[in-house]
C-alpha cells in the first residue's frame, strides 16, 4: 500500500511526498520525526510535519547559510550553530580553514544520532572534526548564559512551531547579540516570505531594534515548497554585506576555492538583491 507524507506547516497550502520506504517514524523527546526515501528528493527528514532537508538539495540551504556570512566576515575563528543537528551547516562552516572552533547547540540529541545513522553524507565527518564542540541544550538558554563569544552565529532552526518557536523571539536575538564578538554576524532561518511573510517581518523588526544593520538574503531550495527561503541578517558592521565581487573572489581564492554546488562569489551579492515584496517585509 502506498504511503504519502503530508507537510502541514501552512494553513491553506499542503504538499505530499511519497514515502517509498520509511526508515524511521517516531516521537523523540521533543518532536515527531520521520525519515523516508523519495524518488525525486532522495532521503528526506521531516520534523513535526515540516520538511527539514532532502539529500538531493540540502546543499543549497547549507551552503548559503554558512558561506554567505563566513565570506562576508572574512576572518571568523569561532562559529556558533544553533540547531542544525543534521550537521550540514557544520560541514560547510568547517570547510573554512580559518574557523578554529565550531560549537553546535542542539536541543534534541536524537536528531544528531539519527542523522549520523541515516544521513552520514550530510555531516560528512564534521562531528568527528576536532574543531567541533557539541552542546545539547536549549539555544535560548545557551546564548543567554555562555561565556564564549563568536564572530558568526548561524541559527539553523526549525520553523516557529514546537521547540523552535523560542528561536524567533526578541529575547533569543538579544542573547545572540550578547554572544557575538563586536562586528559579528547573526544569520537566521526565516522561512518562505511568500507564505510566511509575518515571520520575516517580525524578525527583521527585532533585528533593527538590536543591531545597526538588519536585512535578509534569499535562496531557493526545491524541497522547501512555496518559493524562496529567506535568511535573516543582523550585524553592527554595516560594511559586511556590501563587499565588491572582487573581494569575495579574493577571499574564496584564499580559502582554497573548495568546490560548491550553489554558492559562488557571484551569488554572495545576488542573494541580497531582494524582490520588492520581500524587501518591503524586511524594511517595514
Nearest one of 263, 139, 154, 279 to 214, comparing CA atoms: 279
- Known catalytic residue: 129? no
At residue 88, the 3 state secondary structure works out as: helix
Identified catalytic residue from 57, 86, 108, 156: 156
| Beta carbons within 8 Å of 234's beta carbon, 6+ residues apart | 173, 176, 177, 185, 186, 187, 188, 207, 210, 211, 213, 214, 215
SS3 sequence of 166-222 = HHHCHHHHHHHHHHEEEEEEEEEECCCCCCCHHHHHHHHHHHHHHCCEEEEEEECCC
The set of catalytic residues is 156
Amino acid at each position: 500500500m502506498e504511503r504519502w507524507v503530508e507537510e502541514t506547516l501552512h494553513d491553506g497550502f499542503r504538499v505530499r511526498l511519497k514515502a517509498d520506504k520509511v526508515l524511521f517514524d517516531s516521537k523523540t523527546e521533543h518532536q515527531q520525526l520521520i525519515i523516508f526515501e523519495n524518488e525525486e528528493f532522495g532521503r528526506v527528514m521531516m520534523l513535526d510535519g515540516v520538511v527539514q532537508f532532502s539529500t538531493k538539495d540540502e546543499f543549497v540551504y547549507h551552503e548559503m547559510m554558512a558561506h554567505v556570512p563566513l565570506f562576508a566576515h572574512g576572518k571568523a575563528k569561532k562559529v556558533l550553530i544553533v540547531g542544525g543537528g543534521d550537521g550540514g551547516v557544520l560541514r560547510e562552516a568547517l570547510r573554512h580553514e580559518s574557523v578554529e572552533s565550531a560549537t553546535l547547540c542542539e536541543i534534541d540529541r536524537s536528531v544528531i544520532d539519527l542523522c549520523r545513522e541515516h544521513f552520514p553524507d550530510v555531516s560528512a565527518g564534521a562531528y568527528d572534526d576536532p574543531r567541533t564542540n557539541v552542546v545539547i541544550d536549549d539555544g535560548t538558554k545557551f546564548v543567554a548564559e555562555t561565556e564564549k563569544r563568536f564572530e558568526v552565529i548561524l541559527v539553523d532552526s526549525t520553523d516557529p512551531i514546537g521547540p523552535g518557536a523560542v528561536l524567533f523571539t526578541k529575547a533569543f536575538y538579544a542573547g545572540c547579540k550578547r554572544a557575538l564578538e563586536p562586528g559579528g554576524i547573526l544569520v537566521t532561518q526565516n522561512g518562505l516570505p511568500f507564505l510566511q511573510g509575518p515571520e520575516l517581518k517580525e524578525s527583521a523588526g527585532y533585528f533593527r531594534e538590536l543591531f545597526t544593520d538588519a536585512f535578509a538574503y534569499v535562496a531557493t531550495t526545491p524541497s522547501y515548497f512555496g518559493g524562496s527561503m529567506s535568511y535573516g541578517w543582523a550585524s553592527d558592521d554595516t560594511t559586511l554585506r556590501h563587499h565588491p565581487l572582487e573581494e569575495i573572489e579574493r577571499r574564496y581564492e584564499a580559502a582554497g576555492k573548495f568546490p560548491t554546488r550553489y554558492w559562488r562569489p557571484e551569488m554572495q551579492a545576488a542573494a541580497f538583491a531582494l524582490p520588492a515584496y520581500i524587501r518591503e517585509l524586511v524594511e517595514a
